[in-house]
């Protein structure tokens, strides 16, 4: 787990930032119950698969690092297992599997599009903070 420090006084666009702890899970945490259990076990504010490697490398080299993250799916939202399986270990979309899922389970597409919108909103929020 990694602690998050608030930089709101240094980054005006981060005025809604929330300091807390990020936990790097071994797999996607998709259900509200699994998210609640992870929070209960770790006290983490959010799950962050992608930044753990960056922070671990910086820490191993004795360097300071800052992570600016935005939440794309909240604790009360579920991510179906079939959609979670589309992400690789680094959080990258497995394009071939996504196309196969679209052909074999088209009913999964509406939820996938909702998750995509959430991801885009989160990325835009991070971009605003970094541009400040």
Q: Which has the closest alpha carbon to 7: 46, 15, 72? A: 15
- Cα dist from 43 to 7, 27, 93, 103, 127, whole Å: 21, 18, 28, 39, 27
Most confident among 2-6, 87-91, 110-114 (mean pLDDT): 110-114
* pLDDT for position 16: 62
Other CB atoms within 10 Å distance of the CB of residue 7:
13
**Which segments of the chain are extended strands (E)?**
2-3, 21-23, 46-47
What does pLDDT average to over the chain? 77
Structure tokens given for 90: 């680094």
- Cα dist from 89 to 23, 53, 76, 78, 131, whole Å: 15, 11, 23, 19, 28
Mean pLDDT calculated for residue range 43-63: 81
DSSP helix, strand, coil percent of the chain (3-state; round to 5): 50, 5, 45
- Comparing 37-41, 83-87, 112-116, which segment has the lowest mean pLDDT? 83-87
pLDDT of residue 61 exceeding 90:
yes
């Amino acid at each position: 787990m990694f602690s998050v420090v608030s930089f709101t006084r240094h980054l005006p666009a981060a005025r809604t930032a929330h300091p807390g702890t990020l936990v790097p899970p071994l797999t996607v945490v998709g259900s509200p119950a699994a998210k609640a259990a992870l929070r209960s076990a770790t006290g983490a504010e959010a799950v962050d698969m992608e930044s753990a490697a960056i922070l671990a490398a910086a820490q191993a080299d004795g360097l300071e690092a800052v992570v600016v993250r935005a939440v794309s799916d909240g604790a009360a939202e579920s991510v179906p297992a079939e959609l979670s399986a589309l992400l690789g270990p680094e959080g990258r979309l497995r394009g071939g599997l996504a196309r196969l899922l679209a052909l074999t389970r088209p009913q999964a597409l509406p939820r996938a599009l909702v998750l995509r919108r959430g991801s885009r909103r989160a990325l835009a929020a991070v971009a605003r903070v970094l541009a400040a």
